[in-house]
Amino acid sequence: MKIAVIGTGYVGLVTGTCLAETGNDVICVDIVEEKVNKMKNGELPIYEPGLDVLFDRNIEQNRLKFTTNLAEAIEDAQIIFLALPTPPGGDGRADLSYVLGAAKDIASLVKDYKVVVTKSTVPVGTADKVKAVFKENTLVEVDVVSNPEFLREGVAVDDFMKPDRVVVGTRSENAKKLMEELYAPYVRSGNPIIFMDERSSELTKYAANSFLATKITFMNEVANLCELVGADVDMVRKGVGSDDRIGKRFLFPGIGYGGSCFPKDVQALALSSEEYNYDFRILKAVMDVNQSQKLKIVEKMMNYYKGDVKGKKFALWGLAFKPETDDIREAPALYIIDELIKAGAEIVAYDPEGMENVRKLKGDALAFADNQYQALEGADALIIATEWQVFRNPDFKQMEEKLKAKVVFDGRNLYDLHRMIDLGFYYNSIGRAEVNTKQA
């Protein structure tokens, strides 16, 4: 099939590349000429494991192309994906100007029937707004379809190639047929393509992300309670998650959810509910708890250092909001950095992918190390904020030698408590006993 993808951000690039991989002709459009030229030369502007191989292969096979020319891109396309940003506006609501602007541009150019798909996460009612733009600006028949993405950063290629489900919101038989054909290769293992109306599809995305954010937040509260009652959250998590109705995934407590989706989507759903005079109370509690959870580590440190960290030096392992990405949007590490610097501490950070982005954002406010052990040199303690694999089984001997004190605050529960007891580290994690407190 012939596909155009408007917007070459994270979602657009993953979508375009993965659609080309099953043999479609894909052309991606962006207004930034420099970016388009780089992509034409095979330069992938984002970091996403596994994407580069598919990207190179499909460019080489001429199935994946790039242009700044919208007219050229949509001329032969049967399906046009809108993968444009919908950043929160000043009032916290999703800003639809890019999506509606692109719809207007497309409307002025279309000559024959097209299916236009909104791929960006958009508030309920957006498909209707896009439809209205086409109605006002062209006489050509256009079907507007909602097809939310459920990609997780770090495993986006896998999520796209083998989705748990594909949600398609449309009431047009034509559009349904085309979308079914397009997604058939991705659901061969029997996972469903679920067709529904546009509004239900738009709400599905928000409900899914908000539910997952709620699940994590609930577990974070259970973890906080575990610390008070002397229970171990690892055990509680296993006990609870073994119930099929609850499930094992997304029950890992930590220092709060971050990233480009959960925080934005939970807030957007709460705000849209308000528009319909519905007070979605549980979401407000989720946002509130998550905000304080991000600072849980700092709270623990303040307790340990009796409220004074002035002049102390801390090593920080992990900046990205989660492993296998350089994305630092709403990363708990950023909140930890701000608080500790405000309290007069010094920070030396290491992250396998996220350092460049933090450097751009925070400049000289903190220092960066070349590797995880260098960050420890002369530090009063180690803080762990992201569960990168390389942090899971470190050289504890080197840690002991480099750190000034054997003190670890772990926001991701990476180490076994018994091991830490044996190794003699003061170790404070989330929802588990504090060990080797005598060290303190």
Q: Which residues are annotated as a binding site for substrate?
A: 150-153, 205, 250-254, 258, 322
Q: How far is the CB of 216 from ligand UDX (least distance, A)?
A: 4
Based on CB atoms, which residue is closest to ligand UDX, 140 or 207?
A: 207
Residue with smaller CB distance to ligand UDX, 6 or 14: 14
Q: 194 in helix, strand or coil?
A: strand
Instruction: Quote the least distance from Cβ 380 to ligand UDX, whole Å.
Output: 26
The residue assigned the tokens 């067709």 is: 195
Annotated binding residues, written as ranges, equal 30, 35, 86, 121, 150-153, 205, 250-254, 258, 264, 322, 329
Report helix, strand or coil for 384. Answer: strand
Beta strands in 37-118 (DSSP E): 64-67, 79-82, 114-118
Per the rule left: phi > 0, alpha: psi between -120 and 50, beta: everything else, 227 is alpha
Name the active-site residue from 18, 28, 226, 261: 261
Q: Which two tokens stand for residue 325?
A: 């990405």
Q: At 191, list the tokens.
A: 């996972």
Which residue has 């034509």 as its token pair? 174
Q: Of 429, 414, 56, 48, which Cα lies nearest the Cα of 260?
A: 48
CB of residue 327 vs ligand UDX: minimum separation in angstroms? Answer: 8
**Closer residue to ligand UDX in complex, CB, 55/262:** 262
Amino acid (one-letter) located at 293: Q
Residue ranges of the binding site for NAD(+)? 30, 35, 86, 121, 153, 264, 329
Report the nearest approach of ligand UDX to the CB of residue 249 (Å): 7
- For 228-363, strand residue ranges (E) read 313-317, 346-350
**Catalytic annotation present for 261:** yes
Nearer to ligand UDX, 47 or 250 (CB): 250
Q: Is 220 left (phi over 0), alpha (psi -120 to 50) or beta?
A: alpha
Q: Whole-number minimum distance, CB 151 to ligand UDX, in Å?
A: 5
What is residue 94's DSSP assignment?
A: B
List residues binding ligand UDX (CB under 6 A). Answer: 149-153, 209, 212, 216, 250-252, 254, 257-259, 261-262, 321-322
Work out the burial of residue 400: count CB atoms within 10 Å of its CB; fewer than 13 is exposed, 13-18 middle, 19 or more buried. Answer: middle
Residue 61 has, within 13 A of its CA and on its CB side, a CA count of 16
Nearer to ligand UDX, 195 or 388 (CB): 388
Catalytic residues: 261
